[in-house]
Structure 1
Amino acid sequence: MGGHQSASSITDVWLTPPEIIAALGPFDLDPCSPNPRPWPTAKRHISLPDDGLTADWADEEFVWCNPPYGPHTFAWMHRLASHPAGGIGLIFARTETAGFFAEVWDKADAVLFLKGRLYFHLPDGSRAPANSGAPSVLIAYGAEAVRRLDRSGLDGRLVHLTAAGQAGLAA
């Protein structure tokens, strides 16, 4: 739900392409889900006006997180990194942002740099007319998240960042 496209866009709600959810799911929780939504991204959704960043995430819930893009994206990745059951986040692959991307480099178990630029979807479910404007990356926190990235079949480059990421593939 964030600034995936230009400032002249007609919406600030950008839905995850359903093929990404299908390749990586199922998920127990989406803490930053739009409402209404044309398809579910998880069993449980937290939508505005509720604050998914500060809401309770049950310890056993495996999380999908396509956070609002902007200055608070870091806070969402920090929360996801500390969640006991782990999960997968989708953000721009802006690796040059040392302060922000350090949350990924220092805490993620693996990343999947997606080939090309995604086409997000509009609130009505239709595909956005333009691509996201920047490359995207899927961030895996926890061994289960690494397994899901590995088996997803999504086109891109999977990079393991920790021993836990390597062990996740062996399990």
Structure 2
Amino acid sequence: MNTSFERCKETKVEWLTPPELAIKLGKFDLDPCSPINPPFLHAKNNFTISDDGLSKDWFGRVYLNPPYGRGMELWLEKLKFHGNGIALIFARTETKCFFDHIWNDADAILFVKGRIRFYHISGIQAGTPGAPSVFIAYGKENALALKNSGIEGRYLDLKL
């Protein structure tokens, strides 16, 4: 039996960003992937799965912690074309998604030192996932927000 985190029974697609990390990135206008009945919010406006945030028009500065798994690249592609926001995903830098939507299109990335202790939908910190995380900035202002966030890790400017 394969017990890698991708196939583990405990694998989940919702990993809620710790609020203290999102606060370090500044104020956001929209979170298109907010859970239903969230324990906390990262933006002024929020779309849930009931709203189908992927099909909506995005506006302002976006915070994106997309559903993990199949289809995640659609969310990153939409943020890339929107051009104003920060995403948080697993740091799987060799993937097609990373090559198609991040390496050549993002303004900056911040590899987080250590593993983020994400929250469960209940509002309880649920531990760490089986992969490291990276913040991705689209837009110069968001690159600066990452650089100056104080989040421990390695910052890379991709638009030198």
Shared fold (TM-score, shorter chain, > 0.5)? yes
Task: Kindly indicate whether residue 78 of structure 2 is the aligned counterpart of residue 79 of structure 1.
Answer: yes
The structure carrying a bigger strand percent of its residues is: 2
Task: Kindly indicate whether residue 137 of structure 2 is the aligned counterpart of residue 140 of structure 1.
Answer: yes
Task: Kindly indicate whether residue 132 of structure 2 is the aligned counterpart of residue 131 of structure 1.
Answer: no
Number of residue pairs aligned between Structure 1 and Structure 2: 155
Distance 1:133 1:10, change over 3 A: closer
| Counterpart for residue 67 of structure 1 | 66
1:95 & 1:51 partners in 2: Cα distance?
27
The alignment partner of 2:124 has SS state of: coil
Could you list the per-position Cα deviations for residues 29-66 of structure 1 after superposition, in whole angstroms to 9, with x for gaps in the alignment? 000110111111100000021111110112xx100000
2:14 & 2:125 partners in 1: Cα distance?
12
Distance 1:74 1:10, change over 3 A: closer
| Counterpart for residue 31 of structure 1 | 32
Amino acid at match of 2:105: K
Amino acid at match of 2:128: N
Map 1:156-171; keep pairs closer than 5 Å: 156-163=153-160
Amino acid at match of 1:162: K
Map 1:47-66; keep pairs closer than 5 Å: 47-58=48-59, 61-66=60-65
Give the CA RMSD over aligned residues.
1.7
Distance 1:10 1:92, change over 3 A: closer
Distance 1:108 1:142, change over 3 A: same
**Alpha carbons 1:95, 1:101 under 8 Å: kept:** yes
Give 1:10 deviation, angstroms.
7.9
2:11 & 2:79 partners in 1: Cα distance?
29
2:144 & 2:7 partners in 1: Cα distance?
34
The structure carrying a bigger helix percent of its residues is: 1
Amino acid at match of 1:53: L
Map 1:102-113; keep pairs closer than 5 Å: 102=99, 103-113=101-111
Query: Structure 1: any 5+ residue segments left out of the alignment?
Result: 164-171
Give 1:143 deviation, angstroms.
0.8
* TM-score (norm: length of structure 2): 0.91
Give 1:25 deviation, angstroms.
2.1
**Alpha carbons 2:89, 2:133 under 8 Å: kept:** yes
Could you list the per-position Cα deviations for residues 87-115 of structure 1 after superposition, in whole angstroms to 9, with x for gaps in the alignment? 00000100111x21111001000000000
